[in-house]
Amino acid sequence: MELSKQIRILLLNEMEKLEKTLFRLEQGFELQFRLGPTLQGKAVTVYTNYPLPGEAFNREKFRSLDWENPTEREDDSDKYCKLHLQQSGSFQYYFLQGQEKSGGGYIVVDPVLRIGADNRVLPLDCVTLQTFLAKCLGPFDEWEGRLRVAKESGYNMIHFTPLQTLGLSRSCYSLANQLELNPDFSRPDKRYDWSDVGQLVEKLKREWNILCITDVVYNHTATNSKWIQEHPESAYNLVNSPHLKPAWVLDRALWHLSCDVADGKYREKGVPALIENDQHMNCIRKIIWVDIFPRIQLWEFFQVDVNKAVEQFRRLLTQENRRVTKSEPKEHLKIIQDPEFRRLGCSVDMNIALETFVPHDKGPAAVEECCKWFRQKLEELNSEKHHLTSCHQEQAVNCLLGNVFYERLAGHGPKLGPVTRKYPLVTRYFTFPFEEMTLSTEESMIHLPEKACFLMAHNGWVMGDDPLRNFAEPGSDVYLRRELICWGDSVKLRYGNKPEDCPYLWAHMKKYTEITATHFQGVRLDNCHSTPLHVAEYMLDAARKLQPNLYVVAELFTGSEELDNIFVTRLGISSLIREAMSAYNSHEEGRLVYRYGGEPVGSFVQPCLRPLMPAIAHALFMDITHDNECPIVHRSAYDALPSTTIVSMACCASGSTRGYDELVPHQISVVAEERFYTKWNPGASPSDTGDVNMHSGIIAARCAINRLHQELGAKGFIQVYVDQVDGDIVAVTRHSPSIHQSVVAVSRTAFRNPKTSFYSKEVPQMCIPGKIEEVVLEARTIERDTKPYKKDENSINGMPNMTVELREHIQLHESKIVKQAGIATKGPNEYIQEIEFENLSPGSVIIFSIASKLTLAELNQVLYRCESEEQEDGGGCYDIPNWSSLKYAGLQGLMSVLAEIRPKNDLGHPFCENLRSGDWMIDYVSGRLISRSGSIAEVGKWLKAMFFYLKQIPRYLIPCYFDAILIGAYTTLLDVAWKQMSSFVQNGSTFVKHLSLGSVQMCGVGKCPCLPLLSPSLLDVPCRLNEITKEKEQCCASLAAGLPHFSSGLFRCWGRDTFIALRGMLLVTGRYLEARNIILAFASTLRHGLIPNLLGEGTYARYNCRDAVWWWLQCIQDYCKMVPNGLDILKCPVSRMYPTDDSAPLPAGTLDQPLFEVIQEAMQRHMQGIQFRERNAGPQIDRNMKDEGFNITAGIDEETGFVYGGNRFNCGTWMDKMGESDRARNRGIPATPRDGSAVEIVGLCKSAVRWLLELSKKNIFPYHEVRVRRHGKVVAVSYDEWNRKIQNNFEKLFHVSEDPSDPNEKHPELVHKRAIYKDSYGASSPWCDYQLRPNFTIAMVVAPELFTAEKAWKALEIAEKKLLGPLGMKTLDPDSSDMVYCGVYDNALDNDNYNLARGFNYHQGPEWLWPIGYFLRAKLYFSKMMGPETAAKTVFLVKNVLSRHYVHLERSPWKGLPELTNENGQYCPFSCETQAWSMAVVLETLYDL
């Protein structure tokens, strides 16, 4: 089925600026801009830089979008302008109101990643990434062996740190030449270049299904980069950034202090070279304040030369021709910073000074007095600057000492040891490429441009800084206050605001970007939060020109989602790196999964047209990033497996770093590490330090977990639930709302080393909702007997003594981690498995696959439920004012109305008016489901979430969007239903599929269970918690006879109706468990050898029908033949409610018998003869029955073997209309008593006897005979004998011969039609035997061996001619000699007509649907014996007849087939609108076809 186009609507509102709001979209989506309420009726123009098809993207080029108005109405409610999104990246839009900008924002379109030779899509949520430090890969020709570890571990993306030539520090991120491949990768005899790298990347994509990304570093370059010396303007130096001079002077002073400490010159002042304690730290603080700051006098850079300024002021005061005016100055006097930052180079505004300090006359004394006041003011201003500088110095000392403490004293720091020139007291903030000299000599250089241009600022990062502010620009004091965590190997780059500000730098970095985008599928923006946004935009635009689906990842340290969004929206970042190592315990780790890893409420089929909602940035969730410390150091080696499982269960991209899986017990330093990674070698032993394989570390488990992560992402497991079971155990559930399945990963973390910390052996029980299908994997971190870890000199080796014990795809009982699993209940309709663990040791994980899908019984509640069913549950169907109630409370009720409205576009319908007027119907739909629980409530919550969006849009749009949401939900639910049915249904026609939904419609569980309880020892019986008693109760689904009249309470379940419908409704559809439970439930009520007609939960049962027990036996036979291992049902326990005829009802489990014994009892009782009077006989159980009617008889004729029974005052077959009219004098008279041997019951009996005979011959059924007491003796009648008696007598006594002189004919004078089969034999009114009715066709289907083919065919042709109607079969021959035929049923009519009053003709002509199924099946069966031509014609006839049923089914608002129609297929208002057996028999016919 082709997916509908996804459309998102962005409502524009006046002055709404959404630059900090993230809108994520996918390629192929259509984005519609519509006018919100504040803009309707106004002249609005939308502009965007999203390019026209075929045009290249230009960030600065905006175009206006044309408005479309599909309805051409005069108002703006429907008009929109749209974008068809076909390329990835960040795009801007804004809108003008008239000529004034009124609002705007950005949209981010995700890239489409592709892998493999077939170029298949890799969804972003399926990404599993592994980071490699490029310098540790060794020579290029050895890369494949080392990269293969990622392939074998199940990763589908590799992140390389930069592959360029490195700077002197050897840090992976300090690049000496951005354009050159690191020469370390070449051999003396073989030089490799970028084309070689490109070929390898392409091979990994096509053959290994792995994409490759690498870093781009825009912020800095290595201090020894040759090009930065040639183009010093590309850095922040003391020429282009003179504001850094004071910081530079401080930096040099600290360097000299560091050298003096290293040389031991401060030992006497309490600071040795090896700093070891707080006393040493306090001495450093004192030295800086006492010796350093007074010497360098930093405040002078911000002060005025007072003497010089006063002299200038005096000159101005004493100038001749100067006019003196006393006025209030507009501004206060303040210091103006010297742009060149010379000592005492600052100034003040002399005009303000002259206005402020005015002499009272021109005399010298007055001038001197003014100069004095002016001097005083300047000294005051200088003092303020001195104080401000002291504050900066205070912060500088604190930061410096904090740095010293971390590097020298902190337990978690690098402990650098003694101060040396290689490891100075503090990292230098500036380059100094000159010979050492005195501090004063050095300072003179800052005013010499040819030297000062090489005094460049290093880069670094500032904790808690505003990422949108460049900390090296004027106005920032970061360098002076020593707040920079400095990278002393890299120079910060100075781009300016546009390429013209530094042409070389922009061109150089653009070329670098283009090399990267040419060879890699994605980039990681290193140090993104400090990269100027306009620079990153420019570079990524260049990259996307070469790699349109560029995957862009970044790590942001903004500390704010709003700030993150600015970077994500402006740069089009695909995934933000999030790190689990930041979690300080398992609870926090779980919270991170919940935050970044999917939706708590998602959709199983999102409506394809809906509002565009703000998103959070897509995450690349890493268990550890390459530049952070090793978790084994901070936690334990045992934690690697559980933590990686928790991370991998997040619904987003996931990742790790090479070394984590091998359990390398230290950080692999991006600066200091020079060893190479290990290679893949399947045959390696644990002691091999240069090779790894599946037995190394947690690699085997990682492979399985990565595979699972990719599978869950691909299959739409978009919901995530995190459960903190206890302090160490985290359970993460991934749920797919589309297929209603879950995967639960239970991880026992080991943040503390289990060998040195206490972990309880008592692990809490867990309740897993749903049925566990399998254990996907279980893994435990274990130690093995090998030599302990020793750091290898050449290879980055892991811990050889640690590995995982892994088992995949096992059954629960095979698990070594689970002790036992029981079934419990949590709420109505919710299955829970209680899991008890025995080996969930720290470092273990177990992952379960759960079938938590909506069951078909739950779908009955979601889709259907008529008024009386809902009322029984305390609700009702939604009533639409000025119209009527919905047919169903579930979605089908709404869909039936929408199906009428949609083609006509009938927006004036009361249904639409109700939706526009308020949220009542919307809230009813979701609220009704949420009030239930389990999976049903989940659907309700999804609908509620969707309706939240719906309520945001204008009311006039709600009907069409409501329809869109419901169609999506409804069609998905139908798919969920069909997927749980048989292959016949799943592969069947539309007609078959829609008919099969009758099974969902009719088969359900209400608040009160209708079936008697099954044996407690029976397995797989559905249970729930009773909402009132709070106790566990069985909740087996039962079959309603028909809707709406036979759907609830005592009148829902009927023995006869249930078992006529059961084969088609449950067995043909594959609902074997429900079929079994219904068969066994009715078996428990067997009494007098009969199955009840009205079930009444067993305790109110009426045993007044002769046929139900035979239909029950037929269904057991069908079950055994159609269900895999179906014969097992014969041994299933039946809890007998009435072990004797006079027992009080016994509780379930009191007396259990296997089903085969109950079957034998039914057969034996019939052969013995059944005779009893109904309990409570009288008007309290039947207000119409005459007294004799309560006397029940049934038995087996000794001569013929026929089953017989009944009398003229009761009606024990399906034609069971009892007269109700006093006026017409038919009250208490059955219209169709059909006493004697009814033809279909004889056929059903023959079928049962034949089947039991077959089973007994195979010793499957342990009885070969029935034993009865006759004339005081026990007589045995074998099934073989019984079978032969029926066979020998049936056609002789039931067929009406075409020969008038047939000696077998007892009443030739009553023969009305010949070549037919009698409706009964031995009726108390003999003429009833000879009536033509459709019942003989039933016998033909269940016991075809009773019929001669030619005779059967003739009888069927007569039935076709006389009885076949458009949808059903006439229940009586219109030509009947007794003239009682009437084809119109009216149960309300009460007149003097004996044959019609109060619907007395119920079975005397109206066309019932269920017999047509048996007629058509009989025709199909016997046509094959009449030759190919006849068979072909019959198939044509059957299809032709069934086409009418299809039309009715599709048009019916009930989506069902009725109980009956009036003559010639006319609608009968007294019929059930949809009847179980009507749909069942048509489905059976299609099954036979």
Q: Which neighbouring-strand residues pair with 35?
A: 12
* Residue in 388, 170, 196 with CA at minimum distance from that of residue 299: 388
> Rounded to an integer, what distance in angstroms lies between the CA atom of residue 182 and that of residue 194?
10
* Residue in 618, 609, 520 with CA at minimum distance from that of residue 569: 618
Question: How far, rounded to the nearest angstrom, does the alpha carbon of residue 832 sit from its chain's CA centroid?
Answer: 20
Instruction: Write the CA distances from 586 to 115, 662, 848, 937, integer angstroms.
Output: 35, 22, 20, 30
> Rounded to an integer, what distance in angstroms lies between the CA atom of residue 1021 and that of residue 1033?
10
> Rounded to an integer, what distance in angstroms lies between the CA atom of residue 847 and that of residue 8?
36
> Rounded to an integer, what distance in angstroms lies between the CA atom of residue 615 and that of residue 24?
6
Q: Which residue type is seen at 622?
A: M
Which single residue is written with the structure tokens 């519609």? 32
Residue 792 half-sphere exposure, CB side, CA atoms within 13 Å?
Answer: 17
| Tokens coding 1148 | 């379930």
Please give the radius of gyration of the chain, using alpha carbons only, rounded to the nearest integer.
44
3-class SS at 1423? Answer: helix
> Rounded to an integer, what distance in angstroms lies between the CA atom of residue 983 and that of residue 993?
11
Instruction: Write the CA distances from 5 to 27, 113, 402, 902, 971, integer angstroms.
Output: 11, 20, 58, 19, 16
| Tokens coding 1209 | 């005052």
* Residue in 1374, 1383, 1389 with CA at minimum distance from that of residue 1465: 1383
The secondary structure of residue 183, as a DSSP letter, is: G
Instruction: Write the CA distances from 210 to 207, 653, 1055, integer angstroms.
Output: 8, 14, 62
Burial of residue 903, with CB atoms counted within 10 A of its CB: 0-12 exposed, 13-18 middle, 19 or more buried: exposed
Given a contact cutoff of 8 angstroms between Cβ atoms, the answer to whether 580 and 647 are in contact is yes
Other beta carbons within 10 angstroms of residue 641's beta carbon come to 30
H-state helical runs in 873-957: 891-904, 910-917, 920-930, 934-950
> Rounded to an integer, what distance in angstroms lies between the CA atom of residue 216 and that of residue 211?
17
Element holding 491 (H helix, E strand) = strand 484-492
| Tokens coding 54 | 């075929």
Given a contact cutoff of 8 angstroms between Cβ atoms, the answer to whether 528 and 554 are in contact is yes
> Rounded to an integer, what distance in angstroms lies between the CA atom of residue 40 and that of residue 814?
66
Given a contact cutoff of 8 angstroms between Cβ atoms, the answer to whether 950 and 944 are in contact is no
Given a contact cutoff of 8 angstroms between Cβ atoms, the answer to whether 1021 and 1014 are in contact is yes
Element holding 447 (H helix, E strand) = none
3-class SS at 576? Answer: strand
| Tokens coding 1265 | 């005979």
| Tokens coding 425 | 């007291």
Using alpha carbons only, give the angle 463, 467, 473 rounded to the nearest 5 degrees.
95
| Tokens coding 786 | 């090998």
Q: Give φ, ψ of 431 to 5 degrees.
A: -75, 155
Catalytic sites, residue numbers: 526, 529, 627
Q: Which residue type is seen at 164?
A: Q
Which single residue is written with the structure tokens 């008889």? 1193
Q: Give φ, ψ of 62 to 5 degrees.
A: -105, 150
> Rounded to an integer, what distance in angstroms lies between the CA atom of residue 613 and that of residue 949?
8
